[in-house]
Structure formats: C-alpha cells, structure tokens
Structure 1
Amino acid sequence: MSERNGLRYGLLGLAILVLLAILLLLANRADAPTEAPPAPPADAAKLASLAEINGQTPDGRQLEIHSWQTAEGAKVLFVEARELPMFDLRLTFAAGSSQDGDVPGLAMLTNAMLNEGVPGRDVSAIAEGFESLGAEFGNGAYRDMAIASLRSLSAPELREPALRLFEQVIGQPTFPEDALLRIKNQVLAGFEYQKQNPGTLASQQLFKRLYGEHPYAHPSDGTAESIPPISREQLQAFHAKAYAAGNAVIALVGDLSRSEAEALAAAVSAALPPGPALPRIGQPQEPAGGTSHIDFPSNQTHLMIAQLGIDRRDPDYAALYLGNQIFGGGGFGTRLMEEVREKRGLTYGIYSGFSAMQARGPFMINLQTRAELSEGTLQLVKDLLAEYLAKGPTQKELDDAKRELAGSFPLSTASNAAIVGQLGSMGFYDLPLTHLQDFMHEIKALTTEQVRTAMAKHLDPDGLVIVSAGPSVAQKELPPPTDNTAEQPAGVPEH
C-alpha cells in the first residue's frame, strides 16, 4: 500500500468513527425534548466588537443552582449543564488537618490512601478502572477540608461503572499496609527536602506563632515525628468519622437531569459511612506581634508578614477582597508591586492576601529580597500597609480594581470544573445560593471609605507577626524610589 493510499484509508476510517460517535450521541439524547430553543434576538446573534462593549461589564454565566439534602444528611448542590456530554462530581468533607487532633498528618494520610485499595482491587487496578472508562479521580486534603472528585462522561454505560468504582473508593478504602508504608516514606522524604527550603521553614514557624494551640497551627502534612506511628486502624477510625455522609457536601455539574442528579447523589451518599457533621472548630486567640528570624545560608531573605484575618462568612469579605486586590493581591499595578518592585527593584514579586476559612484565616504578605536590604524592605512594607489603612485607596484605584474584577470574575464560572469548585465552597462554608451574584453586587457598590474602614477594622499595623528566613548580614540603605522601572535583583529567586 502506498503512503498516499494509507493516508486516504486512515482518513476514511477516522470519518467513519466520527460518524458512529455522532449517531451514538443522537441515540442517547432520543429521550430529550425535541422542541427547538427560542431564537436569540437579532442583536445578540452576532459577535460584539470591543468598540460596541464600550467599557461595559461583561455578563457572567447565569447559574440555576438546585440544592437538597440526601436521606443520610449530605448537602447537595447541582447545576445542569448540557453543553458537553460529561459531568463533574466533587465531595467536600470537613476532614482537613484541623480535624487531626493530637495526630498531625492523620487527615492527609487518610485522604491520600483512599484510592490505594478497595475490596478486590489494588491501586493499579483502581487507576486502570477509571482510565478504561475515560474517567478521572482526584483527591486532596487541606487545613479546613478534604475532597474527592470524579469527572466522567455522562453516557449511562460509562457513568454507572465509573460511579460504582468511585463509591467504593470513598466508602470502602482498605488502607493496605504496604501502600501506607510507601506513602509515609514519600512524605518523610518531602520533609527532608523542606529543610532546604527557607520559605517553607518560615511558613511553618509563622503558623505556629500565629495560631499557637489552635488546630490551624501545625502543618497539614504532619511532622517527621507524627507520621511514622500513624496506624491503619487510626486511618479507618478517621475515615468512619470524618468521611460520614452527614459531614459531606456533594457538588455536581454537568449533562444530567435533576432526577438523574438526585439518584446519583443518593447513591454516593449511601456509599459513605453513616454519621453526622463534625462540630465546627473554634476561633483562634489573637497572637502577640513581633519579629523572629531563622538563620539560613542563602543570598536572599524570605519575609512573611501576617495577622489573623477573617472567616469565610464575615460580612466584610467583599470589601476586604477588593481592598486587598488594590494593595497587593492583584499582581502588577498594586501598591506593593509598584512601590517595592517597580520603583526600587527590591523583589521579583510581592503579594498579599486574605485566606478566609472556617475559622479566622491569615492575612499574609510574602516576598523575597536581597539579604542586605531585608530590614529596610520590611520597614517599607510596614509603612505602606500603615499608610493604606490610614488613607485607603484612591478613587482611580478603586475604579480600576472594580473594572478588572468585573472582567475576570466570569472566569470563575467559565467551565464545569470551575463551577463545581464554586458549589463545593458555597456548600462547605454555608454560603447562600445567590452568593456569586451577591458578591459582584457588593463589589460594584463599594466606596473608597467603605474599603478603608473594612481594612482598618481587621488589620493593625502594630500587631504584625513577622518571620524572616535568610542569612544574618550587615544591612544597607534602600535605593531611593524612581519613576523609571528599576533593575531587578540579580539571580534566580529562591522558592
């Protein structure tokens, strides 16, 4: 056979496969309503030009969110999305490291072991099972929460076996001893690597100082002392308690009807251990401010500056989010980037942010700078924060931040994966179903004084918890600011 004929037959075969796929899709949708959707208005049927937009805020994706509770007590949030023949499922549990108790790393190990074994299948068979169905399994554990997720095609012949395997993974993990030993060794090797990372060392000390005896204080991955003694029986007990149906939020987005979504959520909920939601963790005590230093041989110094911020349901969330975008959370163009990087060339990047969690999460400012300029840089950042809290943003800064956020916010619901993440967060933090619309309405209505008041209410420039990690060297004066873009520090930034 010549190369030309081979290509011709190959293309013919591909065309036949595509045709068969289309026929199968049409057959699967035979039960769907046949009424054609109403035609869009004439002016909406064409693509608008940038000139026609004329600075107007782009419309976000309108979501019709359905919510109910399963018989076992799991909260469900569902959005029907028929654009693609697939669905995304995410389970969020109050099973993060804040539930570790006196065994740091227990939540992380339990979550990591979910797909290491189920009755009749080891980790390889589980992976092959999902792959053969074109499905993807995901998991992760953090301070507040642990998640398990499934992405699958929605055709029943693929959806049903993928769900059955997923239900086994989340409901019947066997926690095999050999896999537990392997994962422990991987975690311990990671701890050895962290000893060479001054940023990680600074972060660990910062959380200890910021949270004291609170459950947020210890690392989510545990410690080199806590991981080795954790037993299979402890994992089983934690799973039975923290992965209970009453402790779960089920978020579901995709090519499913409401009745199909209800049946799916009911089956997933029934596969979980029975049990109630775990009690919410308490709020942390206010820490003492001040600076501590970790001596580390490097060219640069890591600076971490923090205070307790807010929990996720705080009424000032929108004002603080917008205020932080202007100060240091929005990348280039923020106060911190302009003053510290652009005018003085003291760092490659500097960022600030509120991590709002079940309890009060941290407000943090992060940067790296030359070791001999670290003290001056720290004082500059403190002065910039104090000035911002006293005077607030300018009207231009506020208008620019609102416009940028209005343009980027639709991306938060631009894909099914993005939507399922939003639903999981809304359910976990008990936010209203109208949260996404409410948030943007609040943002649009904020004034400079409201932003300044909210930032000054929650942050105190005299109560900062500061940790630095780097060499102890003689300090130099900072270069004066300039309107020209400053030369950046030599060398690759250390992470």
Structure 2
Amino acid sequence: MSEHKGPRFALLALTTAVLVGALGYYFVSPSVSVASQATDQAKSEHKLESLTELDGKAPTNRKLDIQTWQTAEGSKVLFVEARELPMFDLSLTFAAGSSQDGNTPGIAALTNAMLNEGVAGKDVGTIAEGFDSLGAAFGNGAYRDMAITSLRSLSDADKRTPALNLFAEVVGKPTFPADSLARIKNQMLAGFEIQKQNPGTLASNELFSRLYGNHPYAHPSDGTAQSISAITLDQIKAFHSKTYSAGNAVIAIVGDLSREQAEAMASQVSAALPKGPAVAKIAAPVEPKAGATHIEFPSKQTQLLLAQLGVDRDAPDYPALLLGNKVLGGGGFGTRLMTEVREKRGLTYGVYSNFSPMEARGPFQINLQTRAELSEGTLKLVEGILADYLKNGPTQKELDDAKREFAGSFPLSTASNAAIVGQLGAIGFYDLPLDYLEKLREQSQNLTTEQVKAAMSKHLSADKMVVVTAGPTVPQQPLPPPTDKPSEQPLGVPEH
C-alpha cells in the first residue's frame, strides 16, 4: 500500500508484502559503540568462510516468543525480548489513519505531522535535540488504516528513561503550535502543486475515488488543498484526543528488556495518552462499477492502473492469494506480466501487481507505464494475461519458484528489531493470531496449483476491473509481436 508518510520528516513505512506495519529506520548516535561491540562479538563466534557452507541449508526462520497483555488504560501490548543488542524499538499504532478523517480529509496526516512540533516548554528544535543527545530516534507516519509513532533508543536506564519520557510527551501531550501548523500547511499545499505534475499520483487518486465511492478509503490520505487549508487547531486537538487515546493504541516493544521493564514502559506511555476507547471499525466498501477513466496529461508515456476490491487483512485465502500474485506480477522478473509485457515485447520498464489487504477490503492493483502510442494495445494485453491466468492458474514450476522465493525472503520479516516491532504492530492492530507469521509461512509452502487457482478466481474477475489511464490522446500503433529479442527496448526509466 502506498500511503502518505508526512510532508517533512524521514518517516516510517509499512514495507513488508506480508503485513502492513513493518517499520524500517536507522539508528545513529555517538553511543552506538556498545552496540557495535556486541555485533562484533556475535560475528566472531562463527565466520562464514565459503558460500558452499550454505548449500542445501534452508533459510533460518526466527520464531517469535510474543508476550501480550493490556495496560490499565486499555492499550494492547505485544513484546518480544531480544537481548542481542543493547537497544530497543517501540511503536504505537493507532486507528488514526485517513479512514478516520470523516468530513475533514487530511486531518489524520496533518495531526500526525504536528506531533513533534512542540510540547510544554519545548519547541520542535529542542525536541529534536533531546532525542539526538540521547542517541534516540523518533519516527511517525500516517496511512489509510493507521497512524504510527516510534522510538528507538539504547536500553540502558540512563538513556532509556529520558528518551521514553520525551517520547510519551510528544505523542500524548503535544501542544500543536499555531506557527508550526501554518508552516506545515504551506508545505503540504506546495506538495499538492507538485502532485499535479505527476500523472501517477493523479491516476492513483482517481482510482481510489472510483474504487471506493463514498467509503473512507476513497479520498487521498493527505487530503486536498481545499480541505487542508480549512483545518483548525481545535479540530486537530479534537482528532488527537479521540484517535490517539490509550484504548485506541497498540504498543509494540522489541529489545534488550525484561518483561518487567517492558510492562513499566508500556504503562508509562499508555498513561500519557488521552483517555478513551478504541474507535469503531470502518464499514465494508460497496462493489464498484467496472469501467475505464482517462486523464488527459501531456507526456510521452501513459500511466495504466487496473484495480478491483481485494480482501481484508484476516482473509483465510490470503496465503494462496499472496503466492498466486507472486506468479502473476508480484515477484519481479519472471512473472507472467513482466515476461509477456516487458521481456517479450519491450513495452514497459516494469509492470507489477499486488494485493493490499487492509482493515476493510483493500485493493488489488496492476500498475505500469508504457509508450502513449501503444497504451490501448498494452492495456488489452494486460487484461488478456489476467483473464488467462484466472482461467488456468499457475503452472507447477511457477508455483514452486514462488514458494522458494517466498521461503527465501521470509526470514527478512523478522531479521531486525525494527522489522519485528513492525510485525507486532500489525498483528496487534489487525487482531491477528500471535502465530500468524509462522502459519503464513507454513500454509504458503503447502499450497497446490488448484488451491491457488481457486483462490485467485474466487476473489478476482477479469470483467470487474476499474481502469484509470493518464497520458496524452495520440494515434495508436499495433503492438510488436512477442520475441526473445524485442526490437523496441523498454524505456530506461519511467517518465514519472
């Protein structure tokens, strides 16, 4: 899912294809020498002298011993003890994304961006200096389903305690300075002007509008120029009080901490948040009407987006859909779409498909750019590839390759504390079972071609696609025939 991550800072992203919520960021401080020593010691225990040592060995999967409880204020907590390095990662996940905007599109993004602009006695510069002086890192981001704040710090009490104190203030008791609001609004308004020059953004916004109609997912997650301009400080304070409440929070903690220390940290953060319950779950979207929309845009290329409603986060068929999509267009080179559209015909730099399961039914999308004069033929080609795949499913070799790729990349989902804390946040936010990741890995490896075909054809239909194109209206040319050496090589870089 591609979402708004704040107009100013380096923010966290939901990067995993398995779960929305995996957080990636770097920790840099003068105090990392302790961590470096621990890393060096771990490396010295066994050095890999030859890649042949890995032959025949399956990738190591880290099994997570997830502990969970609830704070007195109603926050859900998930904790994994990880003693390898003297640091910890903590994230707060709130149902405070743009799906909670209501009649004020963009208020979720604006509120999240304002969190670290001021607390009592400290402005944005003092807050930044406070985290930096402790070797700590603060992060935040707003998406459609959720808003996230995070802290990474050394676990020694002399660093952990002041870092946590500052973090709790920033998230729980921000002052939302008026001058900061004006500045951030201007930055967001400037961003909207830039978006007008990006056909991909224009097409994506139109696609979500067509796909979701009056549903909370329909509007852009960062709002519009008109809606952002009208938002007041009182509205931001009210949104924060409602959606950043303790009962609406999932607290994830991973690191060099005991259960007792993690409980104390969670209690402190939870107590600092506004008091209140979890917000109501959003309603299911209505099935959209299939059809095509074109956005006229001066360009040499045309952006093509095809989509329909997919599945929500806890869909039982998700393992089969995940593997099925890897064969279709979610696995890079070697997928059906890349082979037929790029490698055999040279029509695009890249073509990708993906499911984005969310709290409600997230979208299934196919995304590519192609030369404007070949756009209509390319669209028909992609639609034909999808229809054929839904009818016949993957071959055994394609599925075996997808299984092997997934198994090989799966350990990355728990390879670092930052990755684990993101997984915990998503598991807690979407009310998934604690063994969700392990079950996903096991189920994906036991799938048959018939199960994948059945799941894909159950949830997708070639004649239900919502299509949005953005580019110039130009005379069309016939597509080149497929060949191992296409005469028209793909453009080196997408135009936008």
Contact preservation (8 Å) 1:342, 1:486: no
2:214 aligns to what SS in structure 1? coil
Distance change >3 Å, CA 395–CA 231, structure 1 → 2: same
Quote the Cα distance in structure 2 between the aligned partners of 1:491 and 1:368: 12
List runs of 5+ in structure 1 lacking aligned partners: 1-17, 27-43
Distance 1:260 1:319 in 2: 40
Name the residue aligned to 1:389.
390
CA distance in 1 between counterparts of 2:202 and 2:48 reads 51
Match of 2:6 in 1: none
Whole-angstrom distance in 2 between the partners of 1:130 and 1:413: 26
| Equivalent position amino acid for 1:355 in 2 | S
- In 2, Cα distance between equivalents of 1:128 and 1:84: 24
Cα offset, 1:450, TM superposition? 0.3
Shift of 1:453: 0.3
SS in 2 for 1:113: helix
Q: Which residue of 2 aligns with 1:30?
A: none
Amino acid at match of 1:413: T
SS of 1:127's equivalent in the other structure is helix
Q: Give the superposition deviation at 1:47.
A: 5.2
Counterpart of 1:346 in structure 2 is 347
Tell me which amino acid in the other structure corresponds to 2:369.
Q
Q: Aligned partners of 2:58, 2:448: CA distance in 1, in Å?
A: 18
- The residue number in structure 1 matching 2:41 is none
Q: Does 1:309 align with 2:324?
A: no
CA–CA distance in structure 1, aligned partners of residues 234 and 50 of structure 2:
62
Which amino acid in structure 2 is aligned with residue 259 of structure 1?
E
Q: Deviations over 1:314-340 (max 9, x none)?
A: 001110011001100011111100100
Distance in 2 of aligned mates of 1:416 and 1:200: 33
Aligned positions of 1:246-395 closer than 5 A: 246-395=247-396
- Aligned-pair distance for 1:46? 8.0
Partner of residue 167, structure 2: 166
Contact (CA 8 Å) 1:370, 1:489: kept in 2 or not? Answer: no
Bigger Cα displacement from structure 2, 45-54 vs 318-327: 45-54
Would you say 1:437 and 2:442 are equivalent positions? no
Work out whether residues 349 and 491 of structure 2, in 8 Å CA contact, stay in contact via their aligned partners in 1: no
Aligned pairs, number = 460
How much does 1:55 deviate?
Answer: 4.2
Matched AA of 2:224: T
Query: What one-letter code is carried by the residue in structure 2 that aligns with 1:151?
Result: R
Residue aligned with 1:390, SS: helix
Rounded to whole Å, the distance in 2 between the matches of 1:454 and 1:48 is: 44
Q: CA deviation at 1:56?
A: 4.6
TM-score by length of 1: 0.90
CA contact (8 A) 2:349 2:493 kept: no
Counterparts of 2:270 and 2:491, CA distance in 1? 55
Partner residue in 2 for 1:207: 208
Q: Answer yes or no: is the 8 Å Cα contact 1:95–1:242 preserved in 2.
A: yes
Distance 2:489 2:111 in 1: 44
Summarize the Cα distance change of 1:340–1:159 in structure 2 as closer, same or farther, 3 Å threshold: same
Give yes or no for the alignment of 1:219 onto 2:220: yes
SS at match of 1:140: strand
Using the alignment, how far apart are the partners of 2:277 and 2:455 within structure 1? 36
Amino acid at match of 1:336: L
Select between 205-214 and 482-491 the one with higher mean Cα deviation: 482-491
**Which amino acid is the alignment partner of residue 303 of structure 2?**
H
Cα offset for 1:436?
1.0
Q: Give the aligned partner of residue 473 of structure 2.
A: 472
TM superposition outliers: structure 1 runs of 4+ over 6 Å: none
Task: Work out which of the two has the higher radius of gyration on C-alpha atoms and give 1 or 2.
Answer: 1
1:58 is displaced (CA, Å) by 1.4
CA displacement 1:231-262 (0-9 Å, x = unmatched): 00001000000000010000000010011001
Distance 1:105 1:119 in 2: 25
Find the residue that maps to 2:398 and give its secondary structure.
helix
2:411 is aligned with what amino acid?
P
Instruction: Give the superposition deviation at 1:491.
Output: 6.0
Instruction: Spell out, residue by residue over 1:85-143, the C-alpha distance to the aligned partner (whole angstroms, 9 max, x if none).
Output: 10000000000000000000011111000000100001000001000110000000000
Corresponding residue for residue 157 of structure 1? 158
Contact map agreement 1:198 1:296 (CA 8 A) in 2: yes
| Residue 274 of structure 2 is aligned to residue 239 of structure 1 | no
Which residue matches 1:8? none
Match of 1:132 in 2: 133
Which residue of structure 2 lines up, in the alignment, with residue 85 of structure 1? 86
Distance in 1 of aligned mates of 2:484 and 2:451: 30
Using the TM superposition, give the Cα deviation of residue 488 of structure 1 relative to its aligned residue in structure 2, in angstroms: 2.2
CA distance in 1 between counterparts of 2:485 and 2:415 reads 38
Query: In the TM superposition, what are the counterparts of 1:52-67 in structure 2 within 5 Å?
Result: 53-67=54-68
1:326/1:334 contact within 8 Å kept: yes
Q: Distance between the aligned counterparts of 2:416 and 2:47, measured in 1?
A: 22
Q: In the TM superposition, what is the alpha-carbon distance from 1:274 to its structure 2 partner?
A: 0.6
How many Å separate the matches in 1 of 2:421 and 2:490?
A: 41
Q: CA deviation at 1:49?
A: 5.9
The residue type equivalent to 2:75 in the other structure is: A
Q: For 1:245, give the aligned amino acid.
A: A
Following TM superposition, by how much is the alpha carbon of 1:484 offset from its aligned partner in structure 2, in angstroms?
A: 3.0
Separation in structure 1 between the aligned mates of residue 439 and residue 51 of structure 2, nearest angstrom? 27
> Partner of 2:269: helix, strand, or coil?
helix
Q: RMSD of the alignment, in Å?
A: 2.0
